[in-house]
């Protein structure tokens, strides 16, 4: 290997890298793929218990492909970015139906699967099959942007193109599995977003940003925009049997496909909630019990949630269907629920901490 960058990185990885992550055991394309999707926008420490529970329930691509979507979403509940879970199952079905249940080993074929982009496909090729493929996740972008002093936000096409060129140039033909894990580990453990441990970095000698004392400038930040503020009522309707009403969210958009609480127009005042429940939801209810409001932040807006609990008066003869379910709380908690809704149903007094 002529590339000193690669030699230094591999020497560091052999001594300091992560060699015992759950997806390193019984390593195959399915396990690598699930771990890579979970690790998008999510820290390793958070992913580990989710990955282990997911593998226990869905040990192979066939079991994932045939599972009910509610089951898949319930095992994803709390990880966020729920489109990942829906795309995961769509891709599993494609692997079973189009590839005979065996993951393809080429980048182009992997990228044809729903939710798999260039870097994820490369990670599967390198990690599962040991073939040369360049990755460029968030950690790798940071390492390369600093090492080569690539200016600009990586979300901009010219910046991303330059980073891909560096990624391709450095990726070795040998030990590619160790190299890809090593450069991800270096970004996560040493070349961190804030306060990078440059004195512990094996690439310090050749790092342009370090030489210029400009590590804080790379990679460039995404241009900031003020996030819009939205507000909604979320109502916990409870019938005489102690069951609560859940509604399935639309398949796309925020919390797509998950089960959540009914929402009411924020224009209603607290004193109007009883009337709103009858007009909008079709139920006669008692007086509302207000629960502490809280704010939940999405990637592109803040949502202020004002919860309220109301008893449904009279007999509840509404039948469950594909979009609504009346469930006891312990039953509701087995479904795919957004994290703040799960907390709200479990410990209402803790919602202010979300």
Active site residues: 36
Please provide the DSSP assignment of 275-339 as one string: HHIIIII---B---EE---EEEE-SS-EEEEEEEEEEBPS---PPP-SSEEEE-HHHHTTS---H
Beta carbons of 336 and 76 less than 8 angstroms apart: yes
Residue 246: DSSP 8-state? E
Q: Which residues contact 188 (CB under 8 A, 6 or more apart)?
A: 44, 139
Separation CA 178–CA 176 (nearest Å): 5
Q: Give the pairing of strands 302-311 and 289-290.
A: antiparallel
Q: How far is CA 283 from the centre of its chain?
A: 36
Separation CA 151–CA 12 (nearest Å): 26
Short-list 130, 46, 35, 36, CA closest to 80: 46
- Give the C-alpha distances (Å, rounded to integers) separating 37 from 31, 44, 84, 117, 250: 10, 12, 7, 10, 22
Give the position of tokens 């599995």: 177
Residue 114: DSSP 8-state? T
């Amino acid at each position: 290997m002529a590339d000193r960058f690669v030699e230094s990185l591999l020497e560091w990885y052999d001594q300091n890298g992560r060699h015992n992550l759950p997806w390193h055991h019984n390593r195959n394309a399915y396990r690598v793929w699930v771990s890579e999707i979970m690790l998008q926008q999510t820290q390793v420490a958070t992913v580990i218990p989710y990955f282990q529970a997911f593998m226990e329930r869905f040990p192979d691509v066939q079991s994932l492909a045939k599972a009910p979507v509610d089951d898949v979403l319930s095992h994803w509940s709390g990880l966020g970015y729920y489109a990942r879970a829906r795309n995961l199952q769509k891709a599993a079905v494609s692997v079973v139906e189009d590839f005979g249940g065996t993951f393809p080993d080429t980048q182009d074929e992997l990228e044809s699967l729903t939710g798999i982009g260039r870097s994820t496909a490369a990670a599967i090729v390198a990690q599962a099959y040991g073939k040369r493929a360049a990755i460029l996740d968030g950690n790798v972008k940071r390492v390369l942007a600093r090492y080569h002093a690539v200016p600009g936000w990586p979300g901009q096409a010219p910046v991303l193109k330059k980073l891909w060129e560096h990624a391709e140039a450095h990726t070795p033909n040998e030990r590619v599995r160790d190299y890809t894990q090593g450069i991800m580990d270096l970004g996560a453990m040493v070349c961190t977003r804030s306060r990078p441990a440059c004195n512990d970095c094996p690439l310090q000698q050749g790092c342009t940003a370090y030489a210029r004392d400009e590590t804080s400038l790379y990679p460039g930040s995404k241009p900031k925009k003020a996030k819009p503020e939205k507000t909604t009522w979320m109502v916990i309707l409870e019938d005489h049997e102690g069951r609560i009403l859940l509604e399935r969210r639309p398949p796309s958009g925020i919390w797509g496909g998950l089960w959540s609480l009914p929402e009411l127009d924020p224009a209603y005042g607290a004193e109007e909630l009883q009337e709103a429940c009858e007009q909008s939801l079709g139920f006669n209810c008692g007086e509302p019990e207000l629960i502490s409001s809280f704010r939940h932040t999405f990637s592109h807006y803040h949502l202020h949630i004002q919860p309220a609990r109301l008893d449904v008066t009279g007999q509840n003869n509404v039948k469950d269907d594909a979009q609504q379910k009346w469930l006891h709380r312990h039953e509701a908690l087995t479904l795919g629920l957004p994290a703040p809704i799960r907390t709200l149903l479990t410990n209402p007094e803790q919602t202010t901490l979300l």
